[in-house]
Amino acid sequence: MIKFFEYNWQVRDEWIAWCSQLTNEELLNERQGGAGSILYTLFHIIDVEYSWILGIQGKEDIIFQFTDYNTLEDVNSLSKKLRNEIAEFLKTNLDGLKKKAVSVPWDEEQHTVDDILHHIIAHEIHHIGQLSIWARELKLQPVPANFIGRERISVNSF
């Protein structure tokens, strides 16, 4: 499971670097489908991941407003800051936790920690797939999405 987080974070950083070739206006441009704009998609991925990780830990959700993070630098800072906290949590032994049922304020159903971790992982990969289409529509080459054939970065490096 941890390998998917490492993969997602590496790919996310590559997309954030990729974004630096665009103006902030292009990053905020409303696009068809997905979460709306390229920058909002990245913000949304970060926000959703953190909310679920807080939920797993039984901590109160922290709501971030996109208007406070609507530049690439702000999104990058938020990503790095929250990721440090998430990496620390993921380094702890999750095996005993996986079957634990979790309730969160934004969902009526309870979910196991294991399912929530799957959900966070699939959520990011899905949205990154969307960015890759928008990249081609902008006549730009997307960040490669391959899981294999990339240098691996350990959760300990984040």
Burial of 19 per CB tally in 10 Å (0-12, 13-18, 19+): buried
Which residue(s) pair with 104 in the sheet?
107
Rule CB under 8 A: say whether 21 interacts with a copy of itself: no
From candidates 65, 146, 151, 156, binder to a copy of itself by CB under 8 A: 146
What contacts 32, CB < 8 A, 6 or more positions away? none
For a copy of itself (CB under 8 A), the number of binding residues is 35
Taking Cα atoms as reference points, which of 95, 79, 82, 103 lies closest to residue 1? Answer: 95
Rule CB under 8 A: say whether 22 interacts with a copy of itself: no
Rule CB under 8 A: say whether 60 interacts with a copy of itself: no
Residue span binding a copy of itself (CB under 8 A) among the ranges 17-25, 53-61, 84-92, 126-134: 126-134
From candidates 147, 151, 153, 156, binder to a copy of itself by CB under 8 A: 147
CB of 125 to a copy of itself, least distance (A): 4
Single-letter residue type at 26? E
**Cα torsion angle, 150, 122, 89, 78, sign:** positive
Applying CB under 8 A, the residues found at the interface with a copy of itself are: 3-4, 7, 32-34, 107, 109, 111, 114-116, 118-119, 121-123, 125-130, 132-137, 142, 145-149
